[in-house]
Structure 1
Amino acid sequence: MNEQEKIQLLLVDDEASVVDSLAETLPWESIGVVNVFKAYSGREALEILSTNSVDIMISDIRMPGMSGLELLAQVRRSWKKLKFILLSGHAEFAYAQQAMAHETFDYLLKPVSDEEILSKVALAVETVRKERDEYRMHERVAMAFQESLPKLRGELLNELLQGFKYYPGRLESRLDSLKIRIGLGEPCSLMLVRVEGQLLEMDFYSLSLIEYAIGNMAEEWFEDRFRLWSCKSVHGYLAFVITPTSQSAGELPPEELEQELRQKASQLQLSVERYLRGTVSVLISQRGEFPRDVKRLYDDLLLALRRQVGNQNGLFVQVSDEIEQQPVHSLQKLYEPPLLLHLLESGNWDLTEEKLTGIWNELNQNWADSPEHLTEVFFAVYSSFASFSHKNGRELAAMIGPSLSDVAGLLPSRSISSLQSWIFDSFRMLRQSVENEARDDREIAVQKIKNYVQKHLVEDVSLQRLADYMYMHPVHVSRIFKLQTGENLSDYVLRLKMELAASLLANPAMKSYEISLQLGYQNPNYFNKVFKKYYSLTPQEYRQKLESSRED
């Protein structure tokens, strides 16, 4: 047996004969106890505990020198997980009851049989094993979480770069759980590193090692003044959120910190060239506030990359304020996660409608007179609706109707009001179509369940059997039946059985116990009880009532 699986027991009593007898005569192995230690006083018990791993202790309450309750108090201070079973006589029970209720695993009242002792210890063994399993599971989860931290941190940063919105409390909780040391409202900058040249010709594994090495280099160069949080962005670049350490923020003014940041970013670029024999372009953003400005700063870096770097390699760019002054701005709500298509696919209609409302509000507020923005929104929403329809195995016209799906002349994008009508009318038709399909599917499933129940009524029509037949989870079977019919599945089965029983009782040749067996009730008394609860009459009384009505 694995050392971690062993259960060890300690018996404590000042009567040596009692301890020796229990230790040597009871079949401890049969309940999972591997080793049994013996102690003849509280002091001796503490010495054994200090040098051995003990899981369960049985101690008498009345002992000279140190009582069982005093021993319990000592044990609770140092061995909190140990299962303590107290032996108590009837005379001491009232005295010890309160302590036992709060601090002992269980208690035994003398005189006690061997069976009682084994039964109590077996429960303690089961509890110890359950706690160990839970601890090991917690350890595995914690280890898996620790191993996944870099990936989880990168996913969160990517969401922020794309504009995903978090409630402040929710974001703080995620930052804390991922051990990311950055506060809401804290000043930050972004750095973008684009791997270039021959490094891009490497295979995936080699390139991943290079990117990992660049991240480590960045940590080394920046660690004395800054904290870094990095990811590989959806555009394939290495992105870093950079915040000054508390000490740096207190020692240096913002201008000197920015100068230090530029120097360290330049040193990183040179280090990649020297040690990794490759080329990277590095871009540094203006300062902003976390998390409010993260997406804006990232978009500025991407714009600078397109305008000032382009296809050139090995450039270093400090983004200026001028790049932020754009004559035309892009739509935000339309492209920030979660995307419209993803919300449709998730089946969350309320969030989808909220997303559409946000898109239209932004458009109406800022770009109501811009034909290009209107057309952009129309095509983006149309393509999401069409893609969703196709993934449901249908054409868009079949779901929202031919008039709404007709894009000839792009009439919906001619004005902000016509676009609003088209978006929300199409959404309502799409939702109604999907919900109708869901109802049809439920109706088909429920009819299939009913057919099976009616065909196998006198056999096994348990929920599990029905779930196996439908290839569904039992809970799902129960829910869709109740949702579609308004009746619990168990009530439906019972109703059919009782109706069949009532019809069989109309045949005087069939005895009550025969009907019981035919309906699958092996115990006629139980059948009588169920029948009476349903009809408020016993089977015999029901039969007599039928006969009386015939005579009348």
Structure 2
Amino acid sequence: MEEQLAFRLLLVDDEASVVDSLADTLPWEQIGIGAVFKAYSGVEALEILNTNTIDILITDIRMPGISGLELLQQVRRSWKRIKCILLSGHAEFAYAQQAITHETYDYLLKPISDEHILAKVSGAVQALKKELDEKSFHQRVARAFQENLPKLQGELLNELLEGRKYSAERLPEKLESLKIPVALGQRFALMLVRLEGKLSEMDFYSLSLMEYAVSNMVEELFEDRFRLWTCKTIHGYLVGVVTAIPERAGGPLIAEKQEEEEEESLSGLSGDGKALDEELQLKASQLQLSVNHYLSGDVSVLVSQWGLFPHDVRQRYEDLLLALRRQVGSQSGLFIHVACDIARQLPVHSLQRLYEPPMLIHLMESGSWEMAEQKLSGIWSELNQGWPDSPEHLMEVFFSIYASFSSFAHKNGRELAEMIGSGLSDMSGLLPSRSITALKSWIDEAFRLLRQSMENDTRNDREITVGKIRSYIEKNLVTDVTLQAIADHLFMHPVHVSRIFKLATGENVSDYVLRLKMELAASMLANPSLKSYEIALQLGYQNPNYFNKVFKKYYSLTPQEFRQKLEGGKEMK
């Protein structure tokens, strides 16, 4: 890991010669510094900090405008991991005290030798490497991951219950990383627990405690024969995936064989399979008794028939919800064993792709237009295959998608008719829902126009923002045109200002400012009455020598050489 690290250093001093000398003459790469940034004021330093990742900061204390200590205060607030070194010709102890207060890494006095400053920066590099040590980093991440593991496990189960699809490669990876002992193709049952009566009427905190207590009871009751993977669903129920623990008495190989035989028997629920199913039902009924006895409350418990993971997860959950609505209703303290696919036996089926995550509105809100298009394609395919002649299903799809489109338009401050046209947004005749062909045509065209409208809005907003940036720069070219000043004027973050300008123009803000200044400087040099230092001051360069350096770097000529060239051209004419 250390070989890949190349840290970034920022030098800040109002004496340009000090900054340039340190930046250009010392062998920084030998101590692990990959890039050196230069700033000649606290304002310039903040601009660089806002647009670049900086690891080590060396700053002078006494500077006009923002002092080194004031700069340090802002760095400590926004960039806590930066190692800061204060450089000054003043040895007063008060400065050192303030530096220590602001957690300065080190404090150096001018004049300072090259070896000394390299040694101090090298020490900061080593300190950063220690903080970024791979082992330590992974330990911190692993600890945080472990602390959030139950939450992450519950989120994955909720996604599967809602019908989210994962590839055969991706799901096993997630299961393993989240330490969930369920394999693809393994047989499982679902158990739903609904807290009722006074338990359901508790405040949020008390209810959370009761849910935690019930979950612990489930673990204790089931741990000797079953594994459970539980969560609280969006419907407010406790739901668990239940899988059987194979007998281990015969050793690993025999245990594997027993597990295979057990799963085979479950398919027909004969022999051991029936015994296991009966044991599951017994444990579930014992849970009701335990909740009543220890928590003085009631729960209804529903257990599904066995299925294959993850293929049957969504269907088993729908079976439990349907049984809860039909067989339990508002009653409490009931136990139901759902022994068949109730939902599949109904004469009318509900649409799945329309409501499974990720939802269409969420995909559009996140700007995932390709995924939204795939979502619409999946909805239409399911409708076309299962219910192409059902007026109600056609209207269900139409109203659901229309609602998503309308909500998206309104969240962007627009009427839907503005984005897709009055013809497509007119619901008076409900023409799109009269046939599957008409519905498909409406979906495709409305979606295309909605996407096109948003892309146009984004492009227009970007152009307007870039126009405001340019206008501000041109008006304030010789005063304050730092990135931070532009961002403050537009009420935007400096990083966003920088990125949106580069995206639209292909040019950095600083390069654009430099180009305008150099073009203005060139035009001013045509006036022989203006001295070079006067031009520098008028352009905002307090150090004429620095202006000369910048000008020569831009035009490959010093201001004086450039003026002589201009005068020579006039004489030739």
Aligning the two structures, in what range does the TM-score lie when normalised by the shorter sequence? 0.7 to 0.9
Corresponding residue number in structure 2 for 1:200: 200
- CA apart distance, 1:125: 8.4
Residues 319 and 341 in structure 2, CA contact (< 8 A), matched pair in contact too: no
Moved more, 419-428 or 168-177: 168-177
Residue 397 of structure 2 aligns to which amino acid in structure 1? V
Alignment correspondent of 1:397: 417
2:339 to 291, 303, 320: 320
* Greater Cα shift, 465-474 or 256-265: 465-474
Q: CA deviation at 1:119?
A: 8.3
Residues 299-318 of structure 1: matches in 2 within 5 Å?
A: 299-318=318-337
Which residue number in structure 2 is paired with residue 467 of structure 1? Answer: 487
SS of the residue aligned with 1:190?
Answer: strand
Range with bigger deviation, 147-156 or 412-421: 147-156
Which of these two proteins has the greater Rg computed from alpha carbons?
1
Return the offset for 1:137: 7.1
DSSP-derived class of the 1:201 partner = coil
Deviation readout 1:90-141 (Å, 9 max, x if unpaired): xxxxxxxxxxxxxxxxxxxxxxxxx989987995687368636878776665
Q: How far apart in 1 are the matches of 2:355 and 2:137?
A: 40
Match of 2:161 in 1: 161
Describe the shift of the 1:142–1:471 C-alpha distance in structure 2 as closer, same or farther (beyond 3 A): farther
Q: Percent identity, aligned pairs only?
A: 66
Q: Does 1:432 align with 2:452?
A: yes
Cα offset for 1:464?
3.6
| 1:272 maps to amino acid | V
CA–CA distance in structure 2, aligned partners of residues 278 and 336 of structure 1: 34
- In 2, Cα distance between the equivalents of 1:199 and 1:155? 24
Instruction: Name the CA distance, whole Å, in 1 between partners of 2:356 and 2:115.
Output: 66
Aligned-partner residue type, residue 160 of structure 1:
L
Q: In structure 1, give the amino acid aligned to 2:398.
A: F
1:540 aligns with 2:539: no
Aligned-partner SS, 1:472:
coil
Distance 2:564 2:402 in 1: 70
In 2, Cα distance between equivalents of 1:425 and 1:536: 56
Output aligned runs, 1:98-117, within 5 Å.
none
> What is the alpha-carbon distance in structure 2 between the residues aligned to residue 352 and residue 129 of structure 1?
43
Q: 1:243 to 1:499 in 2, by over 3 A?
A: same
Partner of residue 265 from structure 1, selected from 276, 284, 289: 284
> Residue in 2 aligned with 1:454?
474
Give the number of aligned pairs.
Answer: 438
TM-score of the pair, normalised by structure 1: 0.73
The CA distance in 2 between the partners of 1:461 and 1:132, in whole Å, is 36
How far did residue 347 of structure 1 move?
Answer: 1.7
- Per the TM alignment, residue 381 of structure 1 is displaced from its structure 2 partner at its CA by 0.3
2:386: which partner in 1? 366
Task: Using the TM superposition, name which of 471-480 and 358-367 deviates more.
Answer: 471-480
Structure-2-length-normalised TM-score: 0.71
Give 3-state SS (helix, strand or coil) of 2:495's partner.
Answer: helix
Measure how far apart 1:456 and its partner are.
Answer: 2.0
Report the CA distance shift for 1:177/1:425 in structure 2 as closer, same or farther (over 3 A): same
Matches for 1:126-141 after TM superposition, within 5 Å: 127=126, 131=130, 141=141
User: Given residue 475 of structure 1, which amino acid in structure 2 is its aligned partner?
Assistant: V
Distance 2:208 2:372 in 1: 36
Residue number in structure 1 paired with 2:374: 354
Distance 1:512 1:143, change over 3 A: same
Q: What is the correspondence of 1:224-235 to structure 2 with a 5 Å cutoff? A: 224-235=224-235
Which position in structure 2 is the counterpart of 1:330?
A: 350
CA displacement at 1:477 relative to structure 2: 1.5
Q: 1:100 is matched with which residue?
A: none
Counterpart position of 2:407:
387
1:339, distance to aligned residue in structure 2 (A) = 0.7
Deviation at 1:342, TM superposition (A): 1.1
Taking the aligned partners of 1:283 and 1:200, their CA distance within structure 2 comes to 17
Q: CA deviation at 1:207?
A: 2.1
Which segment drifts farther, 264-273 or 226-235? Answer: 264-273
Seen in structure 2, the aligned counterparts of structure 1 residues 365 and 262 have a Cα distance that, compared at 3 Å, is same
1:484 to 487, 504, 524: 504
Q: 1:87 is matched with which residue? A: none
For 1:213, the equivalent position in structure 2 comes to 213
Give the residue type in structure 2 aligned to 1:504.
M
Amino acid at match of 2:130: E
1:458–1:119 distance in 2 versus 1, CA, 3 Å: closer
2:223 aligned partner = 223
1:276-331: per-residue Cα shift (whole Å, max 9, x none)?
22221111111111122111110111111112222222221111225232222111
Tell me the distance in 2 between the aligned counterparts of 1:512 and 1:116. 37
Output the CA distance in 2 between the equivalents of 1:118 and 1:536.
32
**Structure-2 separation of matches of 1:340 and 1:436:** 21
Q: Which amino acid aligns with 2:208?
A: S
Q: Which has the higher contact order (CA 8 A, sep 6+)?
A: 2
Question: For the structure 1 residues 311 and 471, does the alpha-carbon distance in structure 2 shift closer, same or farther, using more than 3 Å as the test?
Answer: same
Provide structure 1 residue ranges, at least 5 long, that are not aligned to the other structure.
1-114
Tell me by how many angstroms 1:255 deviates. 2.7
Q: Structure 1: how far apart are the matches of 2:497 and 2:124? A: 38
1:532 Cα offset (Å): 4.0
Which piece of structure 1 moves more, 396-405 or 515-524? 515-524
- Closer, same or farther in 2 for the Cα pair 1:116/1:344, shift >3 Å? closer
User: Which residue does 2:252 correspond to in 1?
Assistant: none
- Superposition deviation, residue 407 in structure 1: 0.3
Rounded to whole Å, the distance in 1 between the matches of 2:514 and 2:115 is: 43
Q: AA paired with 1:434?
A: M
Report if aligned partners of 2:193, 2:239 keep a CA contact under 8 Å in 1: yes
Equivalent position amino acid for 2:170 in 1: R
Amino acid at match of 1:274: H
State the 1:470 CA deviation. Answer: 3.1
Corresponding residue for residue 411 of structure 1? 431
- Match runs of 1:163-182 below 5 Å: 163-182=163-182
Shift of 1:360: 1.2
The answer for the alignment partner of 1:10 in structure 2 is none
Q: Deviations over 1:335-376 (max 9, x none)?
A: 000111111211221111111111112112221111111100
